[in-house]
Chain A
Amino acid sequence: MSELVKISDKVLSGERIGFDEAERLYAEADFYDLGWLAHQVRMRKHPKPDVTYVVDRNINYSNVCVCCCKFCAFFCEPGDKNAYVLSFEEIGRKIDETKALCGTQILMQGGHHPDLPLTWYEDMLRWIKKNHPVHIHAFSPPEVVFWSEKEGLPVSEVIRRLREAGLDSIPGGGAEILVDEVRSRVAPNKCPSDQWLGVMEEAHKQGLRTTATMMFGHLETPAQRLEHLFRVRDVQDRTGGFTAFIPWTFQPDHTALPNCRKLTSVEYLRTLALSRIVLDNVDNIQVSWVTMGPKIAQLALYFGGNDFGSTMIEENVVKAAGVAFRLSREEIRRLVQGAGFTPRQRTMDYTLMETE
């Protein structure tokens, strides 16, 4: 027990903890102690009781994907009758709707489409910036690696071209668990962890901010979740480019891993708290109402979370895996207030909006 108190004192004094200490906290700390500790760290980093959120929409430009990840219920193989690629006009219409709802950005991701060349993406970005200007938070490291391999270009060149065409920031998707032993089983065709982190490091170098995610609760062990956190922390030490960390739980329905035990909210909250404690160099930790529902998302604000994520005017991927919570901007504000915090709309880089 005194060992736990020692680790806790270290955390409270702002000192960094190591892997073994984090492992011990996860295994031995009581639910309330872990939450309390994470909340102390959060309040030290963000002394104001603000909880931020962003108004945006997930636009999935295509569901065609050759990756075939076992945890995915969204993708279609090329030629499938449900396969689609959105036209630029449709994307534009969705952007206009988003802006009409006080949206500040779009989050745009798709599958690994085998037939769309990099120029198609550049054209799309340029077309959006010209006709429907908005912050474009788009793609993910696996998509960037896929194009780099398909086009025979270095990753840095792909990022440079996308950035020049209008890409503003990159969401942290496709990280899953950044341990190759796990990745090779759940996402065998997706880029390995070094490449995922490499894309983010390169993006940060080129001045793009990104987020990082972790999808847990499938084939990984708790220690491998921790390994994920420490790998993100290492990159952040070098670049400082991650704006936020977003851990969320795997939703097994309609996927190729249907027999995975669904993690409980208690395990989610413990992992969230640990993320806050380990990632001492990442400012913002997002709670996941999309996978946990609004009730647990509220509780998560006392387990290290300081950001309610996005209004997600549209969300397709998690919904395909059997979970469909819907929250309006007003409801997010009510939930944040109900939890005792002040809701503040923000942009991707966590600048607070003046108008509420």
Chain B
Amino acid sequence: MNLFKNDYFKDMDLADIRDKVETGERLSYEDGVRLFKCPEPLAVGALAHRMRTRLHGDKAFYVINRHVNYTNVCVNGCVFCAYQREEGQSGGFVLSRQDVLDKLEAAPLPPREVHIVGGCHPRLGLDYFEDILSAVRERYPDAVLKCFTAVEIAHFARLEGITTREVLTRLKAAGLGMMPGGGAEIFAPAIREQLCPRKATADEWLAIHEEAHELGLKTNGTMLFGHIETIENRVDHLIRLRESQDRSHGYTCFIPLPFLTENSSLKIDNPLTGLEELKTIAICRLLLDNIPHIKAYWVMLGVKQAQAALKFGADDFDGTVIEEKIGHEAGATSEQGLTCSELEDMIRGCGCTPVERDGFFNEV
């Protein structure tokens, strides 16, 4: 960003925001809304890129990871979900401990990060999850087990009649290393009510993450955008997450998730376009000044868009993945998995330096 004339950001009415980004000053809610309303996506992208470069230089991270979905049976029935089945419905499944191990074994490289999430099954007790965690930990003692969203944790607590803190403590003892950021969707209650009325509320979601942080577990955060929410809802979501991080300091990575319309029963009049996705990713970077990493999640974005996202504020390219189901059933057309050399080539092709990381974002 050397050739831009000085008045470029002034012309966009973003000079004050540019100055804040330069000096590392925190952006306000109003700044976030103004960035969304800026007609020139490259202006927003350039600011996010500057912030990302200050934090991470030209590094782009990736991890050898593996996703396992233990069940698609879920009592929540969120309107946007293309993955969920009712109990007893055809196509519903529950993996056994051995199935989980078999799936991990089938990966060409031992994963450094194991991502296990599933539906809120009405009858799977906590012992089932403890059993899976112990088995995976025994088989892959060096892998970080990044499992169960806050929504699942809340569900386990309800089923068992114990507190979420007890659930987290028991799962941690069984091997849980980290929590993924799913289930956050959009925090605004009015939107949540329409989207996922039976899911844990925003306050519950945030409280569980903060509890996990207190117990020494790192977590991620997400935002599902591009459905029925407004720009203000997005900014509100990011600010709430930022405040949560100010309190508990345990969020490692934030993953902006574009809503995929293909196989969802939720019909959207004007679905997201590519530039809106990139702009949103950039604004996530700019507002979340206290969360170190922003993920370009290629499964949901598509590989080419994820590459561009590395220039719009993202610094993490996720990983090899190998087998992904939730996004693909929603209509994602990306590859099922990528090899390390493909990931490294892509990152280099984008002018970044590939850095392999573990689940905690330590360089390996």
By a beta-carbon cutoff of 8 Å, the part of chain A in contact with chain B is: 1, 4-5, 8, 29-33, 35-37, 39, 261, 263-267, 269, 292-299, 302, 334-335, 338-340
Identify which of residues 274-318 in chain B touch chain A, using a CB-to-CB cut-off of 8 Å: 274-278, 301-302, 304-305, 307-308, 310-311
Residue in chain B with minimal CB distance to A28: B2
Partner pick for B3 among A33, A263, A267, CB 8 A cutoff: A33
Indicate the size class of the contact surface on chain B: 20 to 34
B262 adjacent to chain A (CB < 8 Å): no
Majority SS at the chain A contact face: helix
Contact check, A334 vs B273: say whether CB atoms are below 8 A apart: yes
B45 adjacent to chain A (CB < 8 Å): yes
Interface string of B253-285 (1 = CB under 8 A from A): 000000000000000001001111110000000
Q: How far is the CA of A298 from the CA of B345 in the complex (A)?
A: 24
Contacts of A33 in B (CB 8 A): 1-4
Best-surrounded residue of B1, B2, B46 (most CB of chain A within 10 A): B2
Partner pick for B274 among A1, A35, A294, CB 8 A cutoff: A294
Contact check, B4 vs A263: say whether CB atoms are below 8 A apart: no
Q: How far is the CA of A192 from the CA of B270 in the complex (A)?
A: 47
Contact check, B42 vs A296: say whether CB atoms are below 8 A apart: no
Contacts of B3 in A (CB 8 A): 4-5, 8, 29-30, 33, 36-37
B161 adjacent to chain A (CB < 8 Å): no
Best-surrounded residue of B46, B49, B273, B302 (most CB of chain A within 10 A): B273
Contacts of A293 in B (CB 8 A): 274, 302, 304-305
Q: How far is the CB of B125 from chain A (nearest CB, A)?
A: 43
Q: Which segment, of B127-135, B215-223, B346-354, faces chain A? A: B346-354
Contact check, B349 vs A35: say whether CB atoms are below 8 A apart: no
**20 A-B contacts, Cβ less than 8 Å apart?**
A32-B42, A33-B2, A33-B3, A36-B4, A36-B8, A263-B349, A264-B307, A265-B305, A265-B307, A293-B274, A293-B304, A294-B273, A295-B305, A295-B308, A296-B305, A296-B308, A297-B274, A298-B274, A299-B274, A302-B41
Partner pick for B2 among A5, A261, A267, CB 8 A cutoff: A5
Contacts of B88 in A (CB 8 A): none
B108 adjacent to chain A (CB < 8 Å): no
Q: How far is the CA of A265 from the CA of B304 in the complex (A)?
A: 5
Contact check, B42 vs A292: say whether CB atoms are below 8 A apart: no
Q: How far is the CA of A31 from the CA of B42 in the complex (A)?
A: 10
Q: How far is the CA of A335 from the CA of B349 in the complex (A)?
A: 26
Interface string of B84-116 (1 = CB under 8 A from A): 000000000000000000000000000000000
Contact check, B274 vs A266: say whether CB atoms are below 8 A apart: no
Task: Enumerate the 6 nearest inter-chain pairs by beta-carbon distance, A residue then B residue, closest first.
Answer: A295-B274, A264-B349, A338-B273, A265-B304, A33-B3, A266-B350
Contacts of B351 in A (CB 8 A): 31, 266
Contacts of B350 in A (CB 8 A): 264, 266-267
Q: How far is the CB of A240 from chain B (nearest CB, A)?
A: 30
With A37-B3, A261-B349 already in contact, the answer to whether A295 and B277 are too (CB < 8 A) is: yes
With A8-B3, A30-B1 already in contact, the answer to whether A295 and B302 are too (CB < 8 A) is: yes
A-B contact count (CB 8 A): 99
Q: How far is the CB of B47 from chain A (nearest CB, A)?
A: 10
Contacts of B276 in A (CB 8 A): 338
Contacts of B1 in A (CB 8 A): 30, 32-33
Contact check, A299 vs B278: say whether CB atoms are below 8 A apart: yes
With A261-B345, A335-B273 already in contact, the answer to whether A295 and B42 are too (CB < 8 A) is: no
Residue in chain B with minimal CB distance to A325: B333
Residue in chain A with minimal CB distance to B312: A299
Partner pick for A298 among B8, B40, B275, CB 8 A cutoff: B275
Contacts of A267 in B (CB 8 A): 349-350
Q: How far is the CA of A7 from the CA of B2 in the complex (A)?
A: 13
Best-surrounded residue of A1, A31, A33, A293 (most CB of chain B within 10 A): A31
Contacts of B275 in A (CB 8 A): 295, 298-299, 338-339
Contact check, A30 vs B2: say whether CB atoms are below 8 A apart: yes
Contacts of A297 in B (CB 8 A): 274
Q: How far is the CB of B52 from chain A (nearest CB, A)?
A: 12
Q: How far is the CA of A296 from the CA of B41 in the complex (A)?
A: 13
Contacts of A29 in B (CB 8 A): 3
Contact check, B273 vs A339: say whether CB atoms are below 8 A apart: yes
Interface string of B158-173 (1 = CB under 8 A from A): 0000000000000000
Contacts of A295 in B (CB 8 A): 273-275, 277-278, 301-302, 304-305, 308
Contact check, B308 vs A299: say whether CB atoms are below 8 A apart: yes
Contact check, B304 vs A35: say whether CB atoms are below 8 A apart: no
Interface string of B1-42 (1 = CB under 8 A from A): 111100010000000000000000000000000000001111
Contact check, B4 vs A32: say whether CB atoms are below 8 A apart: yes
Q: How far is the CB of A5 from chain B (nearest CB, A)?
A: 7
Q: How far is the CB of A309 from chain B (nearest CB, A)?
A: 16
Q: How far is the CA of A213 from the CA of B266 in the complex (A)?
A: 41
Residue in chain B with minimal CB distance to A338: B273
Residue in chain B with minimal CB distance to A217: B349
Best-surrounded residue of B304, B308, B346 (most CB of chain A within 10 A): B304
Q: How far is the CA of A89 from the CA of B305 in the complex (A)?
A: 41
Contacts of B45 in A (CB 8 A): 32
Q: How far is the CB of A254 from chain B (nearest CB, A)?
A: 15
Partner pick for B308 among A8, A37, A265, A339, CB 8 A cutoff: A265
Residue in chain A with minimal CB distance to B341: A261
Contacts of A32 in B (CB 8 A): 1, 4, 42, 45-46, 49, 311
Q: How far is the CA of A32 from the CA of B40 in the complex (A)?
A: 12
Partner pick for B270 among A4, A36, A334, CB 8 A cutoff: A334
Best-surrounded residue of A30, A39, A265, A293 (most CB of chain B within 10 A): A265
Residue in chain A with minimal CB distance to B39: A340
Residue in chain B with minimal CB distance to A32: B46
Contact check, B42 vs A302: say whether CB atoms are below 8 A apart: yes
Q: How far is the CA of A298 from the CA of B301 in the complex (A)?
A: 14
Contacts of B270 in A (CB 8 A): 334
Q: How far is the CA of A226 from the CA of B302 in the complex (A)?
A: 29
Q: How far is the CA of A296 from the CA of B310 in the complex (A)?
A: 13
Q: How far is the CA of A29 from the CA of B277 in the complex (A)?
A: 25
Contact check, B349 vs A296: say whether CB atoms are below 8 A apart: no
Interface string of B31-75 (1 = CB under 8 A from A): 000000001111001100100000000000000000000000000
Q: How far is the CB of A51 from chain B (nearest CB, A)?
A: 13
